[in-house]
């Protein structure tokens, strides 16, 4: 008996206001000759840090709250090779009582052709690292990141 597993399908926002470029390093390449799946998660982490920094935030301080990742999903669509330029678009949405989602669109643009490498989403939750507990999302964060 074969059981089909449903695949992750990430529905991205229609627009992205934040874009960053991150170079693909030789150390990002795995035995298959392309960027490994674990590296894609590291690249979106770097993009998230840059995105938050553009608002004067860090993962340890967004209006006094910290952030912790509650979940992550990645939909791989194309391989990424060494030397390919990588552009990552980032947007925060779905704000709730204690957190929000961050969406990522990873693209490579070469010779005027844009190729989608991956789509990703991380669920971020406000966290007090000293008390080790989930806390409410500061209203200012929602207002600034929307």
pLDDT of residue 29: 94
pLDDT in tens, 105-121: 999 988 889 999 999 99
pTM over the 0.85 mark? yes
- Which DSSP string do the residues of 10-49 spell out, in sequence order? ----S---EEEE-PPPGGGB-TTSSB-HHHHHHHHHHHHH
DSSP bridge partners of 124: 69, 100
What domains can you pick out in the chain, each with its CATH number?
18-145 (3.10.129.10)
pLDDT of residue 4: 77
Q: For residue 96, give every residue at least 6 positions away whose Cβ sits within 8 Å of its Cβ, in sequence order, or none.
A: 137
Q: Distance (Å, rounded) from C-alpha 115 to C-alpha 87?
A: 10
Residue 5 confidence class, pLDDT cut points 50, 70, 90: confident
pLDDT in tens, 72-96: 999 999 999 998 889 999 999 999 9
């Amino acid at each position: 008996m074969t059981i089909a597993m449903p695949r992750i399908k990430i529905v991205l926002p229609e627009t992205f206001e934040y874009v960053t470029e991150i170079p693909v390093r030789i150390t990002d390449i795995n035995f298959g000759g392309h960027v490994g799946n674990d590296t894609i998660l590291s690249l979106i982490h770097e993009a998230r840090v840059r995105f938050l920094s553009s608002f004067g935030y860090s993962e340890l301080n967004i209006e006094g709250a910290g952030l912790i990742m509650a979940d992550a999903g990645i939909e791989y669509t194309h391989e990424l090779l060494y030397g390919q330029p990588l552009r990552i678009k980032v947007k925060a949405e779905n704000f709730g009582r204690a957190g929000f989602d961050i969406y990522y669109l990873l693209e490579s643009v070469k010779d005027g052709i844009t190729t989608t490498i991956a789509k990703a989403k991380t669920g971020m939750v406000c966290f007090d690292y000293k008390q080790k507990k989930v806390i409410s999302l500061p209203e200012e964060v929602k207002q600034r990141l929307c």
